[in-house]
Structure 1
């Protein structure tokens, strides 16, 4: 078996790989960088796949690739799935080759959760949504068929439903909540959020889970718990991801809802770091957590790249996450959970801040159409032990 050596080897070809390669280059301009990716595209800006590519005519496909190889000199191996990591030998097996490394970064992300249906269409009419190839497939379907079902009411599901209906597709959104967004938003805000979709023409099937069904060349039939059925020409799953920790577990690394890393993003094995969706890290404001959003991919990727190259710096950034549908944009820092107590501070019907409290201590901040306030939200979390409810109203504008 052939062996190829890289000073820095990255397993995973997403946005973390791109930002890590750039972080390496800030300190090491010549060390060899290898990226093993099971994708068919070089690293690209993932949020555009469910947002701007559907809604912004000026955001064209040429803006999607990140230019990782050209900018950093990384050797990117596409369609290359790593199958084993041997920490003591500092080797990774992938696609019939062995890759040896000086430093290893695991940025394996996750795999989209599939639907529990019998897919006789070979993926033509039933798809998950994670990659640029998935976007191209769904885009083609959106132009060729009349009705598409979206399953899942979280970030991806809601964004896809908005994208499809705004592109003239008869769209039905199936989700398990009583009201769209009710797992994260206070009741009145969830009602307003769902109304955006209904007003745009999305058919919403609430309180429903897909239990079975089938897809074939003619369309899809989805069987819901309780026996009701939904029919469409195609279906896309937006049910989130299963975090890809298999390689790390098999290699003996500490795993607990992600690959466990320290403040410098080092795993429990010498010479191996982890970052992005797959990493469970100690956030300086919020405690240990795993974050599946682009800001974390970019910032943690750069930080881990610098540390691979010897910086020895703690990752101190508390990431934010965001979504944009029907002209509204919301951003959040920390924990959003509608079961928590909240303090709502609305400037008007379309602009406001929601604070989420656990035992009267702020643990999350939602910014609804409020720009340039992420640092202010982080400051609230940093000062949470000293703030009263009265301190919160009017604090962020």
Structure 2
């Protein structure tokens, strides 16, 4: 039975960052990484951003040092009392320290259609790229983060795009109503057809095209279908091993589970953030990299707290933003515009305290936004006006 000093369950950005974190502290300990994908670790954001703007595939790959990488290998059993795991092929491994970086599994529509691309992996990107070589019209199901990005990417590559989502506007649960309406109108100006307030309830092939049927009785004929309707934390392995879960694998400030030699990080981990005073589970690049790295460092002997409040960003055609904290359109918001819908800062408040900050075409202000969220306040529109300002990003 093979034994590793450090065993990483997962092969994504978090797993790669964990390996890097280990190597920062321990240059020689053995590392085994088990990935269900056929590809080596890579950066995920370019799949909906840079790769559609001409960047080479060569730019996405992560480089790990002295890692025994097991591809297309799923860890199916974890026995904490014996510090042992088994993979889907029946092979057994033991470990000194282990991190669960199992990420998330895509939410699926309530019907079967093998032709729908549930967009998440580089394999999904390749599959969609092949379709775009001949296909002209595409449907994107979902109006949030992934849906809005992939719809913009396809449209910028000359494709006719139909977006289908249940909300009134793109990003309705994130953006204040006025900004969400502006974004939706902007997409329509870019040639994207929006079917807002709709749900896809069935799909069938008709003359080599997909025919999507909506709850409102519409039929949409397209050459390809992409679904970006979110993920659910992949906690099955943790639960089978008796590890506590609550919207993810619950970890302490040092990213440990109740089993001291087992850590969790990335999309799958639920951690306490002191600035917001609550547990979070964050599905973005910054969290994957910073949390994975710290988990690796702590596995290798450090004792560092994860108090980081992750940020995220997006590119939507010519629009761009960075954000940090809670972006919830149900919160009170104050929009401090330099130019309405073009450059400004939107603050999300609850009882006078800033809970989130959206930097709309305002750059280099994420650290200041984090500091603001950590302050108790109270804040008002007058005390926030002009507080965070920077030059717009150069095109």
The normalised TM-score by structure 2 is: 0.95
C-alpha distance after superposition, 1:102-149 (max 9, x if no partner): 000000001111223332xxx3x3111111000000111111212110
Is structure 2 residue 76 aligned with structure 1 residue 73?
no
Written as runs of structure 1 = structure 2, the 5 A alignment for 1:130-279 is 130-215=120-205, 218-279=208-269
> 2:79 maps to what in 1?
86
C-alpha distance after superposition, 1:261-280 (max 9, x if no partner): 00000012231000000000
**Most deviating of 214-223 and 89-98:** 214-223
Alpha-carbon contact 2:351-2:378 (below 8 Å) kept: no
Q: How far apart are 1:229 and its partner, in Å?
A: 2.0
- For residues 345 and 366 of structure 1, what CA distance do their matches in structure 2 show? 10
> 1:6 maps to what in 2?
4
Matched residues, number: 386
Alpha-carbon contact 2:164-2:198 (below 8 Å) kept: yes
- For residues 85 and 175 of structure 1, what CA distance do their matches in structure 2 show? 38
Written as runs of structure 1 = structure 2, the 5 A alignment for 1:352-371 is 352-371=344-363
Unmatched segments (≥5 aa) in structure 1: none
Alpha-carbon contact 1:118-1:215 (below 8 Å) kept: no
C-alpha distance after superposition, 1:324-377 (max 9, x if no partner): 111221111111111111111001131100001112221111100111000111
> 1:48 maps to what in 2?
46
- For residues 15 and 215 of structure 1, what CA distance do their matches in structure 2 show? 35
**Most deviating of 263-272 and 216-225:** 216-225
**Most deviating of 98-107 and 355-364:** 355-364
Is structure 2 residue 108 aligned with structure 1 residue 114?
yes
- For residues 207 and 24 of structure 2, what CA distance do their matches in structure 1 show? 50
- For residues 388 and 359 of structure 1, what CA distance do their matches in structure 2 show? 10
- For residues 47 and 156 of structure 2, what CA distance do their matches in structure 1 show? 15
- For residues 320 and 48 of structure 1, what CA distance do their matches in structure 2 show? 17
> 2:307 maps to what in 1?
316
Written as runs of structure 1 = structure 2, the 5 A alignment for 1:267-346 is 267-286=257-276, 287-346=278-337
Out of 385, 388, 391, the position equivalent to 1:396 is: 388
Q: How far apart are 1:245 and its partner, in Å?
A: 0.3
- For residues 12 and 377 of structure 1, what CA distance do their matches in structure 2 show? 32
> 2:392 maps to what in 1?
none
> 1:60 maps to what in 2?
56
> What's the secondary structure of 2:82's corresponding residue?
coil
Q: How far apart are 1:216 and its partner, in Å?
A: 7.0
C-alpha distance after superposition, 1:274-310 (max 9, x if no partner): 0000000011212211000000001001111100001
Unmatched segments (≥5 aa) in structure 2: 390-395
Alpha-carbon contact 2:143-2:169 (below 8 Å) kept: no
C-alpha RMSD of the superposition:
1.2
- For residues 189 and 346 of structure 2, what CA distance do their matches in structure 1 show? 24
- For residues 342 and 255 of structure 1, what CA distance do their matches in structure 2 show? 32
- For residues 272 and 333 of structure 2, what CA distance do their matches in structure 1 show? 25
Alpha-carbon contact 1:256-1:280 (below 8 Å) kept: yes
